[in-house]
Structure 1
Amino acid sequence: MPSLATLQAFAAAVESNDHVGAIRKFYAPDARTQENDGAPRVGRDALAEREQAVLASVAGVATRRLGPLLLDGDHSAIRWRFEFTGKDGKVRGMEEVAWQTWRGEQVIEEHFFYDPQQMTR
């Protein structure tokens, strides 16, 4: 079970747009993530590489947490808003809920829920 301080530090890293650093610091080596009903991705290094590729595909991203951090035992939930600035200058926003399962002080599993049609232009 993570401490509230760990969850707060994780959220602060993501809000500061250190997405890759947050993965490297807070995810277990065998962590897995899944978006909606997509296939899971496994392994902290693979997750960090994928995040780096996503970030490289855009000019920038602004991240904001919407609402409180929710923590109950080994589970947490965080509601996020991301605004991606494309290399064409267009801004697209999306909101998602990240449902996390922790093993001690590390994320072992994270499932993202969002509506892909809600990407605003």
Structure 2
Amino acid sequence: MPTRERVAAFVAMVESNRHVEAIEAFYHPHASMQENQQPPRAGRDALVEGERRMLARNRVHTHPADVILVDGDRSVVRWRFEFTPHEGGPTLLLEELALQRWEGDRIVEEQFFYDPVQMRPPG
């Protein structure tokens, strides 16, 4: 089960836009991530590669998390991200809740909950 300090350290790394490093440092090798009700993506190496691909397409600005809850082996973080495509185009603002399950000091499962309408360009 993570300490509040461990979860805060994870949040601080993401807030500093060190997304790949956060996955490498805080996720278990067999971790999974899931977008809403989509099938989960599994394996830390695959999660790192997916994050690198997303960052190759977008500049990401991470807003400070304003809600961080820790209860036993679960945590919830309310995130707000801005994604601006490197190739041009509108900036998308994504607000989501990330529900995480930890084993010791590593995240093993993470599910993101957000309104998919946010992923559409404005207008």
For the superposition of Structure 1 and Structure 2, which TM-score range results when normalised by the shorter chain?
A: over 0.9
State how 1:19-38 maps to structure 2 within 5 Å: 19-38=19-38
- Unaligned runs of 5+ residues in structure 1 are none
> Match of 2:63, SS?
strand
Pair 1:45 & 2:75 matched: no
Greater mean deviation of Cα atoms: 83-92 or 14-23: 83-92
Q: Separation in 2 of the partners of 1:94 and 1:27?
A: 22
Q: Report the equivalent of 1:80.
A: 79
What's the RMSD between the two structures over aligned residues?
A: 1.2
Pair 1:64 & 2:59 matched: no
Q: Separation in 1 of the partners of 2:104 and 2:49?
A: 24
Q: Report the equivalent of 1:111.
A: 111
Q: Separation in 2 of the partners of 1:48 and 1:100?
A: 17
> After TM superposition, which residue ranges in structure 1, 4 or more long, deviate above 2 angstroms?
118-121
Question: Can you list the C-alpha shifts for 1:34-66, whole angstroms capped at 9, x where unaligned?
Answer: 0011111110010000011011011x1100134
Structure 2-normalised TM-score? 0.93
- Unaligned runs of 5+ residues in structure 2 are none
Q: Separation in 1 of the partners of 2:65 and 2:117?
A: 19
- For these two proteins, the number of residue pairs brought into alignment is 120
> Match of 2:51, SS?
helix
> Retained in 2: the 8 A contact 1:33–1:42?
yes
Paired letter, 1:13: M
Structure 1-normalised TM-score? 0.94
Question: Can you list the C-alpha shifts for 1:77-96, whole angstroms capped at 9, x where unaligned?
Answer: 00001101112152111101
Paired letter, 1:76: S
